[in-house]
Amino acid sequence: RPIWCRRTASLYAISAWREHSRPGIDKDPGTGMRAAFFPGLRWMMTRKLWLGLDPVWPSVYWDDWMREEAQRKGRDSLRPEISRTTTFGEEGATAEAATYDLYWKKMIKNTKNVDWSSYPVENLEKDSFDRMFVERLESALHVDSVKSLKSYDGKTLLLTYSTQEEFGEIALKLGLFTEWNRFPRGAYRGVVEFWSGNNKVMLAPGSIESTIIDIKKRLKQLN
């Protein structure tokens, strides 16, 4: 059954959009992910959620409004690894021309057929996703710079940032979108996952160890 029909308390949107989809950064069209950042493009929500938001829906800048915690309430969005849509172009977009040229113009869109009916959607439910998320973080090799990513092949790597400014510097070097709205675009628990060569990279806040502890504590309480 669709994930919406199974457990929706921790979700508030499903989107076809992935901000970081550029050549070499995203590879697997058959992978879904959770993200704390509301995408704002090609998305849908449940009727129940819409009926609660409709009376107070703003006339402008509703995407930023949806990213406020008052609306998000700790819920996540679902997104594909490779975007299944793109923007309609520079004209009419809210982003500045320089931003469009640097990011949106270079976006890739999935062109391969994916049989989502056979996809293990249970892996996207919060508890299952968190378990696998922690496993990826704990198994990752810690690297200390963008340059060192090229020293590995076929590994899961962990690269950390300490501040918003440092995240922006690293993201710019890697071709990731640098926008920050309480956390990075496309991030889950502050972590942005992407590919660099044959390596899966997890760009995470320096406080990620405490996040791992919090997740493990919550999951343990479920047993």
Helix (H) or strand (E) holding 43: strand 43-44
Record the tokens describing residue 5, joined without a space: 């029909």
**Separation between Cα atoms, residue 187 and residue 161, nearest integer Å:** 13
Torsion of CA 187, 8, 51, 18, to 10 degrees: 30
**Separation between Cα atoms, residue 223 and residue 217, nearest integer Å:** 10
DSSP string across 131-192? HHHHHHHHHSEEESSSGGGGG-SS-EEEEEESSHHHHHHHHHHHT----BSSSBTT-BTTBE
User: Measured on CA atoms in the order 194, 171, 16, 126, is the torsion positive or negative?
Assistant: positive
| CB of 107 closer than 8 Å to CB of 21 | yes
Residue 63 designated active-site: yes
Among 26, 28, 54, 63, which one carries the catalytic annotation? 63
The set of catalytic residues is 63
